[in-house]
Structure 1
Amino acid sequence: MKNKGKIYVIGIGPGDREQMSLMSLKAIKESEVIVGYKTYINIIEDLIKEKEIINSGMKKEVERCEITIDEAEKGKIVSIVSSGDPGVYGMAGAVLELVNKRNSDVEVEIVPGITAANAAAASLGAPLMHDYAVISLSDLLTDWEVIKKRIDCAAAGDFIITLYNPKSKGRITQIEDAREIIMKYRKPSTTVGIVRNAKREGEQVKITNLERMLEHNIDMFTIVIIGNSNTYESNNMMITPRGYFK
């Protein structure tokens, strides 16, 4: 009887080894095959020297999921890696959807990781201490009008807003539009944190405000956290009160 395969969908966190969970390391060690975007494979290269490695470039997510399931259906233990957490703009959903679509009997375990939002928040201080929304400004898979509506609703509800994928070489106006929408509800002095390469080599941390945020370097390696009406800066830390000291 053929051995039943297994898939680990792993979040490797921001990229720094100290930010990876013990479960992620254990799953990688247990796996026979490692599948992932080549940039993420490079991050864990020293951990997988004895493994079968399958990597690919950007925009090959479905292909990577298909390969992962194919290898697991051969009875292998396979890890497919994502940065951050695989369930937050990662590979978890696609893997589970394809397993369901193919009616496969392979076991799937999702291994969580530190998200870019949580990594950036830690570098800034404590900006996510109250209700917050995470919104990607990439319109590759989501219509821009839908994204704008989500920004508007989050801003109107006084949520702290964390922006993923804020700006790229081919997508430069979305961050400007997002700021304009948010400024309908927030003061120009609203505290904003900008973190590039959160919790990995070359990290840059800047605390500014809504009025001046676009003066700073923002790209696809950046997380932008826009505070709510109570967020403030103190001693180079961004703080959102939870309400403990009323």
Structure 2
Amino acid sequence: MHQLLKNILFGLTDAHVILEPVSGQLMHPEALTAFSQLRRDAREAGFDPKVVSGFRDFERQRTIWNAKAGGQRPVFDSAGRTLDVARMSPEEIVFAILRWSALPGGSRHHWGTDFDVIDAAAVAQDYRVQLTPEEVADDGVFGPFHCWLDEKIATGRSYGLFRPYAEDRGGVAPERWHLSYAPRAKEFQQALCPDLLREQLQLCQAGGELALADTVCSEMGVIYPRFVEVPEAAYPANLGDRL
């Protein structure tokens, strides 16, 4: 595999992303084009989509992961209750973190094709976005926008954008706010595999740079299909017809 592609897959470069001028977030150019088209339609409907998290590199994801593994950031169960990592086994900690946070090297945000979005028109400028299920529920502050977006995605009028975590498949918790540009994201996912990801993380394991790296590597056969790979059926069909 070409080194540039490996660096993109694992978030080790930002050579493949550009600045989204409104939010200041970095995005894959094609994802930005799709989002710009979607935002145009949304503004006509009275919404104002804003990207609040786009490209995240490996180091950023590793910092989040290590802080959660070490107890400096909260770790939650599926109901959103805070867990005491000091009372948990390494395996329990790993799977609890993965429920809400991506594995460094295994995050779709590394690709720039995926981003988190809110409706800026629904809140004041000083509103602190939490990206919680309550915010994006039908009766939540961003609910009307996401109901509108549901219809756009369902009818193939979302310019190739879809929700990879629209439903709970027993891995990553549902993230209604997370959008992905399907054509490129699918290509990147097909280039990735468990052995490749394990190989990358073993470098961190050897250097002590990733908390619980030994547990992650030993459990990769379970982690990858459950928390990294998005099933083929979740992607929209006829991608070329939806751009």
TM-score bracket for the superposition, by shorter chain length: under 0.3
Where is the helix percentage greater, Structure 1 or Structure 2?
Answer: 2
Q: TM-score of the superposition, structure 2-length normalised?
A: 0.26
Structure of larger gyration radius: 1
Give the TM-score normalised by the residue count of structure 1.
0.26
